[in-house]
Structure 1
């Protein structure tokens, strides 16, 4: 498929949130909190960011995707934007007052990760934020769904998103059930996705979210698969798809995209899902996640940084 050319009749999705540059270091085990030396199995620098990952998976599937994201005011930020557009993502870049966001991700089997923010994103240019609002005002009435990811830019644009009737899917990642930064994102969500790293009783949290009006809520559990609660309160479980694990970075983003695309296909992305619908959507998410983690980078075929 030609980059930048969505397939005819493809879904139209907006993704709002961060793009970053990630240095991925593969270790046999995550470091203990004591002075010592470890040897890396391998390392690479990759295009990163949860929203960039979702946008890339959507574009790879032939979706018409607009990514609204920050761009660092340096060559690294410009290169990140070029990598996205070269892969078929339409990018509305909001320039920041500093360099591109950078992370260091230490990863170890069976999918454990420690993320270190080396360089947070700078303050977005107010004029760029205003321009992004105008673009969204024009774009949102025609979209099928919106991914609203955790980032100050997404928080600034949330009122534009929620005044439409478009379904909002929110990935709160390793939410612990208490962090106040997540509150406006949870309030905006029609569908909640997350991982189980810090939530404790995931089923209780997901059940409460659905009883509070969400169409569905899902927690990924790494090699143990995923747990979801359907719109009628029914718990749903799916297994992880067996695969050779190369790089787990972005697995949750791939799962979210696989699940959304199946929901759009079945016509249940914007209403409470039945248990059977949710099970099929979660299975599609697990399959997309397996495809992602069986290759380096956020999506298969994505070149390493600088290539």
Structure 2
């Protein structure tokens, strides 16, 4: 079958309502005045990965469930504006949504509305198979429909990646994703021993590469049994928001991998893209482009 798509992104479509707060954790008060405004925009993890991949020149397709509601229309509009093909499976419960509280230092607290997604949600198997077989790579989000799609995806033989986000290394929901993917991303935030968790993923699953991002401390890269620390790249302008940094890292890493770059250079791509994302307010979807990424990577290597 002709591979018309570089990366199929599965899941993670939705909207976020962004609220900039004076501090995190937010002390109890009857009310807060939000002078910066409260804004709702399309863009959850799958959307950001898809937008990041497309901005880097990769042919990207996004598949997920969406409701027939205003939130769903925001997601559809984002994909139309960015020129990213979207296959939307009807979701009677509505489009996934969340509220992100963002502090002055860029840290965030996300509140997810779980009523818009259910454990028995499914993506049509023929659709998943057809889109995967037409792709060079599939990136799988953690959202509910995607777990059920993993067996079909593995049958296609298409390489997989996933992002476990702030997995604690124990929650059983994340394990099928961790063990099915060839490339595994996760945050070191909730890990007491990142190396131990990374090696367990590689030993028990199929992962050729495991990357644990650690914010300003850089990232840990495990490949061929060797653990390497990837230094953080200084952001080009002040940090305003960490939302989307992990998605940007994953998109740029996959761009490098699909371009034939070795894992360490792929991780540098990710570090540069993640640093850029931290300079962009959550209310925007301004991701780094291919030319700018390669320019900053060259500067970081010199």
Q: Which residue of 1 aligns with 2:171?
A: 179
Q: Give the drift of 1:253.
A: 0.4
Distance 1:281 1:172, change over 3 A: same
| Local SS of the residue matching 2:178 | helix
CA RMSD across the alignment: 2.6
Q: TM-score, normalised by structure 2?
A: 0.84
Q: Which residue of 1 aligns with 2:195?
A: 203
Q: Gaps spanning 5+ residues in structure 2: where?
A: 289-302
Decide whether the 8 Å contact of 1:97 with 1:123 is kept in 2: no
Q: Which residue of 1 aligns with 2:257?
A: 263
Question: Map of 1:289-304 to 2, 5 A cutoff?
Answer: 289-296=274-281, 297=283, 299-300=285-286
Distance 1:175 1:125, change over 3 A: closer
Distance 1:41 1:172, change over 3 A: farther
Q: Distance in 1 between matches of 2:52 and 2:108?
A: 21
Q: Distance in 2 between matches of 1:124 and 1:175?
A: 18
Q: Give the drift of 1:251.
A: 0.9
Decide whether the 8 Å contact of 2:252 with 2:270 is kept in 1: yes
Question: Map of 1:99-110 to 2, 5 A cutoff?
Answer: 99-110=94-105
Aligned length: 282
Distance 1:301 1:143, change over 3 A: closer
Q: TM-score, normalised by structure 1?
A: 0.83
Q: Gaps spanning 5+ residues in structure 1: where?
A: 1-8, 268-276, 303-307
Question: Map of 1:1-307 to 2, 5 A cutoff?
Answer: 12-32=6-26, 34-35=28-29, 38=32, 40=34, 42=36, 43-118=38-113, 120-122=115-117, 129-130=123-124, 133-212=125-204, 213-243=206-236, 244-266=238-260, 277-296=262-281, 297=283, 299-300=285-286
Higher mean alpha-carbon deviation, 100-109 vs 236-245, is at 236-245
